[in-house]
Amino acid sequence: MINLQPYSNPMYFVWLAVALLPLMIGLYFGKRLVVYQTIISGIFLLLIFGGPKWQQGLALIGYIIFQLLVVGGYAAYKKHANQTWAFVSAVLLSIVPLVIVKVVPAIEVGRQSWLGFLGISYLTFKSVQMIMETRDGTIKEFSPVMFVRFLLFFPTVSSGPIDRYRRFQQDYLQVPTREHYLQMIEKAVHYLFLGFLYKFILGYLFGTVMLPRLAHIAIMQRAAFFHSGISLALVGYMYTYSMYLFFDFAGYSLFAVAASYLMGIETPMNFNQPFKAHNIKDFWNRWHMTLSFWFRDFIFMRLTFFIMKHHLIKKRTRIPQAAYLINFLIMGFWHGVTWYYIVYGLFHAGAIIINDYWLAYKKKNPQLPHNRWTEGLAIFITFNVVCFSFLIFSGFLNTLWFQAH
């Protein structure tokens, strides 16, 4: 049985082009070939989760049935009642599989839960979002078929971008005009080739060619600077890893967006030149955007309202600070239950809080200079703070300090 990991080798793109061609011809003539699309989606999912990964495939099927029950059940309940406990239980239930998958390797090192499969966290984001929007009343009708299509939209199934249900549904049901579809194809081809440059050339250069060498040198010098391991090679590792992380992930995201566009679905973009950010807040509006917007809409905003509504914190300026801390702590845990992901989350929360202080100070002191030099300085500082956070995120410090011998 063949197994194909999404966007991992040239053959995948050949299969993708062949499979999407009839669908594209249909869309060009103003018709979505629903049956055909369902069939090829099934085949691609089978290629991703079949063969040697069949256990993941079973876990995925179980997961989908479970989420159908939870989300569908809550939607049915919401039609005649709206108790908070029911909403909270539905959200908690819906994240249970993800929590188990994240906690198991932390309890027993190296073990993976059999509930896990590639992309479980992205599917969980989509499910939780459904429950929350059902609670808000913005999603009124629950369609199990559309929900499954939304969850299992194969171009984005493994690592996002994280779409929104209502947006997806609208694109799915409404075929774009020919003119608009041509624009989408044009963008898709551009994104696809930009993705090749990012992932297979730059990502390869930074991640496969440079990174292992720098890691080796840095580990050799782990006794440097009073046994802290701080060396030039470590600094090199930090920047190289940051570049690798961006080009690899942005490349992947471009592929996912391009494939979506070809299928007539305008999946949102994930990156917008993040290293040009002027401050940390700006950075999170440009980096892994669909994730940070998800956290903003479904965690940060809700937390802020919750704290204000219940007067949990008296001082107004403290409210966003608390919300940031919890928000980024959850994001850290979501990445994985290890010290470096959690520190990464707290580091960003700290950075954003300091940034808030600075912005407030700047507002009070309008005489502070603002020109392209200060802007350049801001970009430089933000870039370095971000790269340092990625060094934490990489887990390399863990290897350097606690594992290498």
Partner 1 sequence: MKAKGKLWLIFGPVIIAAGSLILLFSLPLGWGHFSDRTERQAAVSLSPKVFRGRKIKQQALENNYVPFFGSSELSRLDAFHPAVLAAKYQRSYRPFLLGAAGSQSLTHYFIMQNLGSQLRGKKVVFIISPQWFTKQGQRPDAFGFYYSPLQTTDWIIHAKNNTADRYAAKRLLQMPSGRASQTTAAALENIANGQPISKFQTTVLRAKETMLLNEDALFSHFQANKNLARVEKSEKVLPAHYSAPQLNQLAAEVGRRETSNNQLDIKNSFYKSRLSGHRMKVLQNSQTSFDYRQSPEYSDFQLLLTQFSKWHVNVQFIIPPVNDRWANYTGLSMPMIRQTDQKIKYQLQQQGFTHVLDLTNDGNEKYFMEDTIHLGWRGWLKADQTIDPFLTKQQPAPSYKIQNKFFAKKWQTSTHIE
CA nearest 55: which of 3, 108, 94, 133?
Answer: 3
Kindly state the smallest distance separating residue 179's Cβ from partner 1, in Å: 8
Contact positions with partner 1 (CB under 8 A) in 13-52: 28
Residue that has been written with the tokens 């209502």 in this structure = 166
Give percent helix, percent strand, percent coil of the chain, each to the nearest 5. Answer: 75, 0, 25
Residue 279 identity (one-letter amino acid): N
- Does position 104 bind partner 1 by CB under 8 A? no
Judge contact between 143 and 120, C-beta under 8 A: no
Q: How many residues does the chain have?
A: 405
Looking at beta carbons only, is 42 or 212 nearer to partner 1? Answer: 212
Kindly state the smallest distance separating residue 208's Cβ from partner 1, in Å: 13
Looking at beta carbons only, is 12 or 77 nearer to partner 1? Answer: 12
Kindly state the smallest distance separating residue 2's Cβ from partner 1, in Å: 6
Looking at beta carbons only, is 99 or 404 nearer to partner 1? Answer: 404
Judge contact between 238 and 391, C-beta under 8 A: yes
Contact positions with partner 1 (CB under 8 A) in 275-294: none
Residue 296 identity (one-letter amino acid): R
Catalytic entry in 190, 216, 227, 335 = 335
Kindly state the smallest distance separating residue 188's Cβ from partner 1, in Å: 9
Kindly state the smallest distance separating residue 238's Cβ from partner 1, in Å: 23
Looking at beta carbons only, is 141 or 179 nearer to partner 1? Answer: 179
| Phi, psi for residue 93 in degrees, rounded to 5 | -55, -40
Give the CA distances from residue 5 to residues 15, 92, 155, 205, 366, in Å, rounded to whole numbers and listed in that order. Answer: 12, 30, 11, 21, 53
Contact positions with partner 1 (CB under 8 A) in 161-200: 178-179, 182, 185-186, 189
Looking at beta carbons only, is 53 or 78 nearer to partner 1? Answer: 53
Kindly state the smallest distance separating residue 198's Cβ from partner 1, in Å: 17
Distance separating alpha carbons of residues 60 and 111, to the nearest angstrom: 18
For 139, the token pair is 């999603």
Distance separating alpha carbons of residues 196 and 303, to the nearest angstrom: 39
Kindly state the smallest distance separating residue 229's Cβ from partner 1, in Å: 15
Distance separating alpha carbons of residues 234 and 165, to the nearest angstrom: 42
Distance separating alpha carbons of residues 358 and 103, to the nearest angstrom: 37
- Does position 2 bind partner 1 by CB under 8 A? yes
Q: Is 405 a catalytic residue?
A: no
Among 309, 310, 316, 405, binds partner 1 (CB under 8 A): 405
Distance separating alpha carbons of residues 93 and 131, to the nearest angstrom: 11
Neighbours of 242 (CB within 10 A): 23
Looking at beta carbons only, is 225 or 305 nearer to partner 1? Answer: 225
Among 65, 209, 220, 312, binds partner 1 (CB under 8 A): 220
Looking at beta carbons only, is 46 or 104 nearer to partner 1? Answer: 46
Judge contact between 221 and 231, C-beta under 8 A: yes
For 91, counting Cβ atoms within 10 Å of its Cβ (0-12 exposed, 13-18 middle, 19+ buried), the class is middle
CA nearest 215: which of 241, 184, 186?
Answer: 241
Cis peptide before 52 (omega within 30 of 0): no
Contacting residues toward partner 1, per CB under 8 A: 2, 28, 178-179, 182, 185-186, 189, 220, 405
Catalytic residues: 335
